[in-house]
Structure 1
Amino acid sequence: MKHNFGAGPGILPQQVLQEAAQAVINFNNSGLSILEISHRSPDFEAVMDEARALVKELLNLGDNYSVMFLHGGASSQFAMLPYNLLGENETAAYLDSGTWANKAIKEAKFFGKVNVVASSKESNYTFIPKDYEIPKDARYFHVTSNNTIYGTQIHQFPESPVPLVSDMSSDIFSREFDANKFGLIYAGAQKNMGPAGVALVIVRNDLVGTVERAIPSMFNYKLHIENGSMYNTPPVFAVYVSMLTLRWVKAQGGIKAMEKINNEKAAKLYAEIDRNTLFKGTCAVEDRSRMNVCFVMNSPEQEKEFLNFAKERDCVGLKGHRSVGGFRASIYNALPLSSVEHLVKAMQDFEKIGSSKPELSMK
């Protein structure tokens, strides 16, 4: 059995993979593959309707919100968001807490003014900025809830005097929060919701159609909402697998149940990192992510050796991003606790080996 700690595309539930595999051969006993049915067919319209309904149900959202499944992944929303919400003479506020937040800031500058209220860039994004003021005249305030590269996470969202917007690509559906506090939420599917190729966008209806600029059809939220995310052919398979994954989350007990097991996984892994004489964390303890656990070795020359050691024990996807180095264990919803326990055991076993080598243990 492979223990998949990859940052994304990330692990999916085995049940979902099995159902999706069957649908590739024969979807709904139609004799056709999910890959070849019409997106206008009743069968797929039912998929899209259920996917949108599950998002609202899991996040306790009402009819004042619209749900879209769009092409382009979360990165397309870096531009699509300000295109639809930010006038050229208006200012949007952004929190710069990581690489993806920084990219979102760069894109927003094409459409209006940007006020970066705080940044942790000079510290290589090792913490979430906290001492900042959200300007009351901003069009919206944008945060990135979780940073896959640096392993930090916002654990308490701010009270915002303006519409709160968040990129939740790597922790959507992983923990409870009040989604009704947000004006807009977007997320790439390939961490906790489905395969790469689709982005989830949730927007409060009163924010749509408020800018004066002309917006090309494919980038216009209003048009996508009016057409049920099917203005053009949607990423059918990615939406279908996302729907299956949302069904799975609901069947596990919903987001509350996901949060409980995710907290347990993170606590067990961080406890070993802090205990083990060979490893150390890379970011502020109070901001540690419960989705992407980043850590390095006290002796960097041992990192390649441990990576190979872990691979031999079927732990894959552990290599850290080049911006941080070391290791990154992504422990998304579908990763079982047993996989974390398996990694912890590998870390303990490697420590025993290191302690038997005086030249290593003395470093």
Structure 2
Amino acid sequence: MPLPSTGRVGPIAALCLVTSASIPAASAGADDLNRALGKLSERIKRAADAEGETAVVLSPFTAPQRMAANGSPGIRKALEAELKRRDVLVKNGARLEVKGDYGEAEDPAGKAVVRIHGRLIDRDSGRSLAEHSVDVDNLTSIAGLVGATMSVPIEPVPADRERAIREGLSRPSAHVSSSRISAGPKSPFAIEILAGPSGGAIRPRTAEVINGQAYLNIRSSERYAIKLINDAPFEVAATLMIDGLGLFAFSEHPEYSYVIIPARSSGVITGWHRTNDEAEEFVVTEYPRSAAAERSLAPSPDLGVITACFAAAWPAGGNPPLDEGMEGRSVRATGRGPITRAELAEVERKTGRLRAAISVRYTKDDGPGAVPDRPE
């Protein structure tokens, strides 16, 4: 598996890249987030029209401190896209400002959701012009926004699976063995963070568990890569998110959703996907320069969150794993995409339900620090 070149732009890891092409019975994670924020943007649009304004400022969305989450960049990017579709511009000098918060909640049916609450404020007078809450119920989106770590059992009874999801969100259970991070000692899915100086070698970085979540340090002068590990006897689709932003957030192929990891193998993701030939390396001080600046997106000065979600995958004409079973909050998407090996070739896969979400929080040991107090 190739590692990145010493330049800022290098070859992407040799993994299958899959798009969420056809329409599944249940929506894909990114679609779910955009659909929810589309409702919020409609409310903002109506209030802005009433004020005779066509532009807004987007401020960060905050999460409860206990969550140690950093999903605001993902929320802001999706909200900006939905506002743009409704002819509302995002401009730093606008009179109207959108701000908000998000956190774990339950919908009326008792399902775990992320509730995003947005407010439109007149910056000159301080008046609140509109506010609205929307729920995100796709498990992959939830995991990426809150930085969840949990094994999700393939329960035959939907209520049992939902109970396990709620428990996993409220009581994270990261397992760390040196640099290998998983949702439990018996889980076949794991990640490793490889880090090192820009232009130099990168090596596995040791993590530790604090309050049920995995933490490690990456200096602001370092670059890093993410190793996705699949020890299961079947292919998996891995959705990778950093601060709520998907791996393909700055890609020329934003329709891509996953990377496919073959059975009992692993792959290294070296940077943000740009094209099928190039990736822009991961650094903790900024997102890709060419795209992030346009959106005023910048990483937190002290905390970042990397999340990988794993679901079974199989050829469109093939059979799922025997335990895939029931429908539920699943992503039975059919997708196509290239394999980045010696030559590009298109693959087609279906994906099943979320089986595990693994998150690691990274702090900058030369920054202000955001590691929570260890329990006594």
TM-score if structure 1 supplies the norm length?
Answer: 0.28
Structure with the higher fraction of residues in strand conformation: 2
Structure with the higher fraction of residues in helix conformation: 1
Q: Which has the higher Rg, Structure 1 or Structure 2?
A: 1
